[in-house]
Structure 1
Amino acid sequence: MLAAHPWAAVALLMLVTILNNMDRFLPSILAEPMKRELGLSDTFLGVLNGIGFLVIYAVAGIPIARFADRGRFGAVISASLAGWSLMTALGGLVTSGWQLAATRAGVALGEAGSTPAAHAYISRNFPPEQRPGALALLTLGAPLGMMASLVVGGVVGELLGWRRTFMVMGGLGLILAPIVLIALGRGQPLPSRAADPATADLRSILRKPSVLALCAASGFIALGGYASGAFSPAFLIRAHGMSVGTVGLQLGLLNGGLGVLAMLAMSWLGGRLARRDPRWPLALLTLLALVAIPFGVAGYLFAEGTGAVLCIAISNLVGGAYLALTVACLHSLAPVTVRARISAVLLFCTAMMGGLGPLFAGMISDVLTPTYGVEALGRALLIVPASLVLAAACFIAAAANFRRDMVEERVTD
C-alpha cells in the first residue's frame, strides 16, 4: 500500500499515464502501414484517432468518476488499465477498419476512468501548495507516453509490424494492472463532510465563468493537439520522405524531451508565482500558447526535414505543458468531493473538442489532395496554430474571474 507514501504513488500513476498515452497515440505512428493493409482513408483515420475514440472517452468519464469521488481511486485506475490494455492487444488481430474501430472504442472506454481518478487521488493526498508539483509529475506521463509511443511504435513497428506492436503494448498494461491495485488499494475514506450535499453540487461549479473558460481553453488545445498527434507523423512521411522509424525517433524524442522540460518549468514557475497571485499560472499558459503559434505555421508550411520536426515539436509544447497548471487551477475552483468529476468534465471538453481536430484535418486533407498532393495534409494541419489563438483568448477570460470563483481550501480529515 502506498497511501503513506504519496510521492511514490504519484510515480506509479505517472507510469500508468505513460501507458495510457502510448496506447492512445500508437495508431498515429502506425497510420501509414495500417492504412495500406486495411485500405483506410485519411477521413477514416481522423475518425479513428479523433472523434470516434474521444466521444466514448468523454461520455464514459463522468459516470466512472463518481466512483473515484467516493474514494475508490485504486479500483477505478486498475480496472481502467486492464480494460484498455486488453482492447489494445485485440487491435492486433483485426482484419478490417471497422473491427479496428471497435477495439479503439474499447480502449477509449477503459482510458476514460484513469485520469480523473488520478487527479482526485492527488488532490486528496496533497495540500494546495504541493499540488502543482504532484500534478506535474503525474502529467509528465503525457509527453513521455507520446514520446514512447512514437519511438517504440516506430522502431518496433518496423521490426515486428503494426499488429505485434499492438499486442506487445497491450500485454504491458495487463501485467501492470494488478500491481496498481495492490499498491493503491481499492480506495480511501473521504472526509466526513463528503456527505454534505452543498459540497457536491457539480452544476453550481460548472456555472462559474472561470471554469467554463478553462474548459474551453483546454478544448481548443486538444483540438489542435489531437490533429497534430494523429497526422504529424503522416505529414512528415508524405511531405518530407521520412521513414516511420526516423519520424518516430526524431519527433518522439523532441516531443518528449521538450515537453518534459516545458512541463517542469511551467509547473515550477507557476507554483512559485501563484503564491503572489493565483492568476499567474493562467498568464503563463497564455504566453506559452502565443509563443507556439508561429512555430506551428512554420512547421507545416515552410520548414524542411528536421527543421519541420523541430517546429512541430515546439508547437506541441502547449499540449504537453498546460494540463498540470490547468487542473491545479480548476481544483482551486471546486470542493474536494467533486474534483474527480470536475476533472472528468475537463476531459469531456478536451475529448469532444479534440475529437474534431483529426476529423477536420482528415477531411480537409482529402478535399485538398487533388490540388496540393502530398502538401495537402500540411495545409490541413494549420488548424493547430489556429486553435492556439483561441486557447490563449480563453485563458485570458479565465483570469478575469478567477479570484472571485475560487473556493476556500479546507484541510481534509
Structure 2
Amino acid sequence: MADYSASAVRPITEPLPIGRESAAAPSCLPKEQRAPWPWQSTWPFAMLMVVSIFNYLDRSLLGLALPAIKAEMGVSDTALGLVSGVAFIVIYSLMGLPIAWAADRFNRRTIISIGLAFWSAVTLATGWVTNIWQLAFARFCLGAGEASSTAPANSMIADLFHPTRRPLALAIYGIAATISHIVLFPIAGWIAETYGWRAMFIAAGVPGIVAALVFRLTVREPARTAPRPAHSRSPIAAIKTDVRALLANRCYAWMLLGMTFMGSNIWATGSWTPTFFQRVHGLTMAEAATIIGPSRGFLGAAGILLGGLLVDRLRKSQLRWRVGIPALACLAIGPAELLFLLGEETAIWVLGFAGASFFTLLHQGPIYAAVVNVVAPDQRALAIAMLLLGGGLVGNIIGPTAVGILNDVLAADFGQSAIRYSLLLIAITPLCAGACFWQASRLYVRTANEEG
C-alpha cells in the first residue's frame, strides 16, 4: 500500500506571507510556470471526496423523505422546516468554529475520520426514530458530526496542492455533491419508494462507517505549509482574535456575506425541491429523486468544473475575475429559479431547473480558493468554518425554515401550490450573493496588489 504519511506528502511550496499566495495563483502565472498536478496527493484527495459525498448524501436524505414523514407523524411544514433546517444547522455551524480552530492546530485526518463514523452512525439510527422529537435530535447529532468535514478538508487540500492548483482541486472537490446526486440520490429514492423511508437511512449509514475506517487507515496527515499557531492563548480567546482579524479583511467579509445568501438558496433548495415536485407536479419520491439526482448532478458538475477551469486559466491582468466569475454565475441563478418555480409548461420549468442546476454551485470552488489566498495560512480552516456558519446558520433561517413557515401561512389561499410562492426566496437570495461577490472582486484586486 502506498505511503501517504506526512513524510511522503511534502509541501509543494514554502509558505508565503499572507497575500503572496494570491499573487502566485494560477491566474497570475504563465502556463509554463504553473505547478504540475501532485499525483502523490491523489489518494488522500480522493478519500476526502468520498467523505464529502457521504456528507452531502446524509444531510439530503431528509428532504426526500419529508412528505412521507409528514403523513406518518402528522406534523406541520413549519415543524418539518425547523427539523430539516435549524435542528441540523445550529449545531453544524456553531461546532464548525471550534473544530476548525482545532484543525488548524491538530491532526485533521483524525478529526475527519471520527466525524464521519459518528454522523454515519446517526444516519443509521435515524431509520428507527418514532416521533418528531427523536428526528430533531437525530438531525442535531448529524449536524455535530458533519461539522468535522468541510473546514478541515479544505485545510488539508490547501496543503496537498500548490496555490496554482488549488482552484481546480477545490472545484473538483466540489463535485462530491454532484456525484452524490447522480449516483446515490436516485438509489436512495428507489429504496425509500420500495422499502420505506427508514430503510433509506439505514442503507446510507452502513457504508459511511466503512468509509470512515478506510479513511483512518489509509490517509495520513499532510505536512503543513505554515507552522501551527502557538498555544499561548486559550482557545476561546484565540478564536475571538482570529474572527476579528478575518472580519477586518473587507474582501473576505464580502465573500462571507455572499456565501450566506447562497447558503439560504442551497439549503432551501435541498430541503424543499423534492416536496415541490411531489406537490406541484405530482411525482413520487422515486420519480423526484430520479429527476433531481442526475439533473443537479451532471449539470452541477459541469458548472463546478467550468468555474474551476475558467479561474485556473485567468491571467494576472484578470485577477478580479477570480471572484467576478462566481458573481456573474449567482446573478444568473435568479431568473433560472423564476422559470423553474412559475413555469407552467414542462419545457419552461425544465429549462429553469437545468439553468439553476448548472449555475448554483459554480461559485464554490473559486470562492473557497480565493478565501484561502486572502487569509493567513493558519486561519484557513477557521475562515472556511465562518463561511459555513454564515451560509449554514443564517442561510437556514432565511432558507428552509422560512419556506416551511410561508408554506403554512400561504396554504389557506394556495393549497398545495403554496410552496411555489414560498420558494421564490431561492430566486432572490442569489441576486444578493452576486452583488456581494462583485464587490469582493474589486477588493480582491486591491488586496492582492497591496499585499503582493
TM class by shorter chain equals over 0.9
For residue 170 of structure 1, report the CA deviation from its aligned partner: 0.7
CA distance in 2, matches of 1:233, 1:213: 31
CA distance in 2, matches of 1:128, 1:171: 36
Matched with 1:339 is 380
With structure 1 as the length reference, what TM-score do the two structures score? 0.94
- The answer to whether the 8 Å contact 2:53/2:176 transfers is yes
- The answer to whether the 8 Å contact 1:30/1:153 transfers is no
For residue 39 of structure 1, report the CA deviation from its aligned partner: 1.6
**Among 178, 186, 191, which residue is 1:156 paired with?**
191
Q: Which amino acid aligns with 1:265?
A: L
Structure 2: runs of 5+ lacking an equivalent:
10-39
CA distance in 1, matches of 2:142, 2:422: 27
For residue 189 of structure 1, report the CA deviation from its aligned partner: 4.8
> Which stretch shifts more, 110-119 or 350-359?
350-359
Q: Which amino acid aligns with 1:380?
A: S
Taking a change above 3 Å as real, the CA distance of residues 275 and 30 of structure 1, as seen in their structure-2 partners, is: farther
CA distance in 2, matches of 1:192, 1:348: 24
Structure 1: runs of 5+ lacking an equivalent:
none
Larger proportion of helix: 1
Taking a change above 3 Å as real, the CA distance of residues 359 and 407 of structure 1, as seen in their structure-2 partners, is: farther
> Which stretch shifts more, 147-156 or 68-77?
147-156
CA distance in 2, matches of 1:192, 1:147: 37
- The answer to whether the 8 Å contact 2:322/2:441 transfers is no
Are residue 405 (structure 1) and residue 405 (structure 2) matched?
no
Say which SS state the counterpart of residue 128 (structure 2) adopts.
coil
**Among 247, 250, 255, which residue is 2:296 paired with?**
255
For residue 101 of structure 1, report the CA deviation from its aligned partner: 0.8
Taking a change above 3 Å as real, the CA distance of residues 407 and 99 of structure 1, as seen in their structure-2 partners, is: farther
Say which SS state the counterpart of residue 50 (structure 1) adopts.
helix
Matched with 1:90 is 125
Are residue 265 (structure 1) and residue 300 (structure 2) matched?
no
CA distance in 2, matches of 1:123, 1:309: 37
For residue 312 of structure 1, report the CA deviation from its aligned partner: 2.5
**Among 145, 149, 152, which residue is 1:117 paired with?**
152
1:307-386 matches, cutoff 5 A:
307-356=348-397, 357-386=399-428
- The answer to whether the 8 Å contact 1:51/1:354 transfers is no
CA distance in 2, matches of 1:104, 1:205: 30
For residue 149 of structure 1, report the CA deviation from its aligned partner: 5.0
**Among 222, 228, 234, which residue is 1:194 paired with?**
228
Matched with 2:28 is none
Taking a change above 3 Å as real, the CA distance of residues 247 and 193 of structure 1, as seen in their structure-2 partners, is: closer
1:68-92 deviation per Cα after TM superposition (whole angstroms, max 9, x unaligned):
1125121011011011101111100
CA distance in 2, matches of 1:337, 1:408: 20
**Among 38, 43, 48, which residue is 1:8 paired with?**
43
Are residue 166 (structure 1) and residue 208 (structure 2) matched?
no
- The answer to whether the 8 Å contact 2:112/2:152 transfers is yes
Q: Which amino acid aligns with 2:89?
A: L
1:280-295 matches, cutoff 5 A:
280-295=321-336
For residue 278 of structure 1, report the CA deviation from its aligned partner: 2.5
CA distance in 2, matches of 1:51, 1:348: 12
Q: Which amino acid aligns with 1:370?
A: A
1:373-408 deviation per Cα after TM superposition (whole angstroms, max 9, x unaligned):
121100000000100110011011111211333499
CA distance in 2, matches of 1:131, 1:227: 29
Matched with 1:20 is 55
**Among 222, 231, 242, which residue is 2:283 paired with?**
242
CA distance in 1, matches of 2:92, 2:342: 32
Taking a change above 3 Å as real, the CA distance of residues 189 and 294 of structure 1, as seen in their structure-2 partners, is: closer
- The answer to whether the 8 Å contact 2:181/2:292 transfers is no
Taking a change above 3 Å as real, the CA distance of residues 45 and 74 of structure 1, as seen in their structure-2 partners, is: same
Taking a change above 3 Å as real, the CA distance of residues 129 and 292 of structure 1, as seen in their structure-2 partners, is: same
Identity %: 30
> Which stretch shifts more, 15-24 or 348-357?
348-357
> Which stretch shifts more, 316-325 or 331-340?
316-325
Q: Which amino acid aligns with 1:38?
A: M
> Which stretch shifts more, 53-62 or 400-409?
400-409
For residue 118 of structure 1, report the CA deviation from its aligned partner: 0.6
Are residue 33 (structure 1) and residue 68 (structure 2) matched?
yes
1:340-394 deviation per Cα after TM superposition (whole angstroms, max 9, x unaligned):
1111111111111221200111111111111011211000000001001100110
> Which stretch shifts more, 401-410 or 144-153?
401-410
- The answer to whether the 8 Å contact 1:143/1:259 transfers is yes
> Which structure has the larger Rg?
2
Say which SS state the counterpart of residue 228 (structure 2) adopts.
helix
Q: Which amino acid aligns with 1:67?
A: A
1:257-316 deviation per Cα after TM superposition (whole angstroms, max 9, x unaligned):
000001001100111115443211211112111222111011111244475344224224
CA distance in 2, matches of 1:306, 1:97: 38
CA distance in 2, matches of 1:62, 1:407: 30
> Which stretch shifts more, 284-293 or 387-396?
284-293
Q: Which amino acid aligns with 1:278?
A: L
- The answer to whether the 8 Å contact 1:7/1:134 transfers is no
- The answer to whether the 8 Å contact 2:302/2:358 transfers is no
Task: Give the superposed CA RMSD.
Answer: 2.2
Taking a change above 3 Å as real, the CA distance of residues 219 and 274 of structure 1, as seen in their structure-2 partners, is: farther
With structure 2 as the length reference, what TM-score do the two structures score? 0.86
- The answer to whether the 8 Å contact 2:63/2:270 transfers is yes
